């Protein structure tokens, strides 16, 4: 019995199946796209001031009907800045409350969005729209009454020295005070070691701040005088970005047998972590030694070194002062100097003798030769 292949089905018979497949595929894509765009932003974003000199509390509520089952994870992206800043600072968190530092003399700007990822989103992160909020404290006094030239340096990671000058409209007899707070303190603290000029507080020394390192240090400098309102100054500092070490110690320059200059020094004193230092001399480096080859030695007449906090420990920092200058002379130059010294002395002696003879001839009577040089 011969088996014959059945003739192909008419094209029209396949159309319902193809049409059904297209409808199902479109439905899946549409439902997936609809799901991806259905993530709602957080609710009730609020910014409050707990009275900690610029550390503000940011709080919000989760979006309604958020799905967290079936392995889906909900996170939040919070960005914040002061009005006028170009860049936003970013925090990713699963919490519903944050405390971050602001400059209270300017408006605080905050925005938050929901991030959803997991099985319910096909493992693709879905982002909601942003939710915005701002905060501004009522400012007293005129801007020109605020202290000016406020400057702080964290010396040797041991103490913070801040200085300022009175505002342009500050009256005589103003009494300035510096207050600070960082996470871990129960309340704000006033400076207990002021730097004074003619009885007026013009700076402050703060010690024992190791617990504030790598945290926001909120500072307020305010002034008070009878019947006058002065504008307070607010600042948020990061100590590691204000660090200035002392100059390196025990700088030694020596000559090797191969007539190479070997430069060695020790890290500076204080509490500066040695692993956080970089140095500058001929080039920038983290080691505490370098060698100058014989070929380049003739170009070096002075060796000095300075240091600062490197990029592994801080975003920026201050260079230390330079070490004391150290001059060096190569062995070849020393040998040449020893050869030239006798020659120079011989020529000087001969010149001195001829000068004395000439002076004696001038002092002798006319027509009578001089018989001795003694006493001339």
Q: What is the CATH number of the domain that holds 110?
A: 2.60.40.10
Whether residue 20 is contained in a domain is answered as no
Judge if 238 and 147 occupy the same domain.
Answer: yes
Of 89, 106, 135, the residue that ends a domain is 135
Judge if 238 and 252 occupy the same domain.
Answer: no
- β-bridge pairing 148-155 and 243-244: parallel
Judge if 284 and 217 occupy the same domain.
Answer: no
Selection from 187, 260, 183 nearest residue 215 by Cα:
183
Of 243, 258, 288, the residue that ends a domain is 243
Whether residue 354 is contained in a domain is answered as no
Judge if 129 and 101 occupy the same domain.
Answer: yes
What are the pLDDT digits (tens) for 147-175?
999 999 999 999 999 999 999 988 888 88
DSSP string across 168-236:
TTPPTT-EEEEEEE-BTBSS-EE-SSEEEETTEEEEEEEE--GGGTTS-EEEEEEEEBTTB-B--EEEE
What are the pLDDT digits (tens) for 90-120?
999 999 999 998 999 899 999 999 999 988 8
Domain count, the chain: 3
Whether residue 27 is contained in a domain is answered as no
Judge if 167 and 119 occupy the same domain.
Answer: no
Q: Quote the CA–CA distance of 266 and 103 in Å, as a whole number.
A: 39
Burial of 335: CB neighbours in 10 Å, binned 0-12, 13-18, 19+: exposed
pLDDT of residue 140: 87
Judge if 157 and 187 occupy the same domain.
Answer: yes
pLDDT of residue 299: 57
Judge if 158 and 110 occupy the same domain.
Answer: no
Domain with 71 in it: 43-135
Whether residue 312 is contained in a domain is answered as yes
Whether residue 154 is contained in a domain is answered as yes
- pLDDT > 70: what percent of the chain? 71
Judge if 237 and 147 occupy the same domain.
Answer: yes
Whether residue 32 is contained in a domain is answered as no
Judge if 117 and 163 occupy the same domain.
Answer: no
Given a cut of 80, whether residue 374 has pLDDT beyond it is: no
Whether residue 359 is contained in a domain is answered as no
Enter the pTM of the model: 0.67
Element (H, E) at 159: strand 159-165
């Amino acid at each position: 019995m011969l088996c014959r292949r059945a003739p192909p089905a008419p094209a029209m018979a396949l159309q319902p199946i193809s049409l059904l497949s297209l409808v199902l595929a479109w439905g899946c894509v549409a439902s997936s796209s609809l799901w991806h765009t259905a993530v709602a932003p957080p609710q009730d974003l609020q910014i409050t001031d707990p009275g900690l000199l610029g550390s503000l509390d940011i709080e919000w509520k989760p979006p309604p009907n958020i799905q967290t089952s079936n392995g889906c994870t909900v996170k939040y992206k919070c960005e914040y800045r002061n009005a006028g800043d170009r860049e936003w600072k970013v925090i990713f968190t699963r919490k519903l409350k944050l405390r971050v530092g602001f400059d209270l003399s300017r408006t605080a700007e905050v925005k938050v969005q929901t991030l959803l990822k997991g099985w319910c989103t096909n493992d693709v992160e879905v982002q909601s729209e942003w939710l915005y909020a701002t905060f501004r404290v009522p400012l007293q006094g005129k801007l020109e009454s605020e202290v000016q030239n406020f400057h702080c340096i964290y010396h040797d990671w041991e103490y913070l020295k801040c200085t300022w000058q009175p505002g342009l409209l500050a009256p005589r007899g103003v009494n300035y005070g510096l207050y600070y707070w960082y996470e871990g303190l129960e309340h704000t603290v006033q400076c207990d070691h002021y730097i004074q000029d003619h009885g007026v507080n013009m700076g402050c020394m703060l010690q024992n701040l190791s617990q504030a390192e790598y945290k926001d240090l909120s500072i307020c400098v305010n002034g008070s005088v009878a019947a006058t309102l002065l504008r307070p100054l607010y600042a948020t500092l990061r100590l590691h970005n204000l660090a200035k070490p002392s100059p390196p110690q025990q700088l030694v320059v020596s000559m090797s047998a191969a007539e190479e200059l070997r430069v060695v020094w020790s890290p500076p004193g204080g509490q500066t972590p040695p692993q956080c230092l970089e140095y500058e001399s001929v080039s920038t480096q983290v080691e505490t030694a370098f060698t100058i080859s014989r070929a380049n030695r003739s170009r070096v007449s002075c060796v000095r070194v300075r240091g600062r906090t490197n990029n592994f420990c801080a975003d920026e920092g201050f260079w230390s002062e330079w070490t004391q200058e150290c001059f060096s002379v190569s062995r070849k130059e020393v040998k040449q100097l020893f050869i030239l010294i006798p020659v120079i002395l011989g020529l000087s002696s001969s010149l001195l003798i001829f000068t004395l003879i000439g002076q004696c001839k001038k002092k002798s009577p006319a027509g009578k030769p001089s018989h001795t040089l003694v006493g001339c």
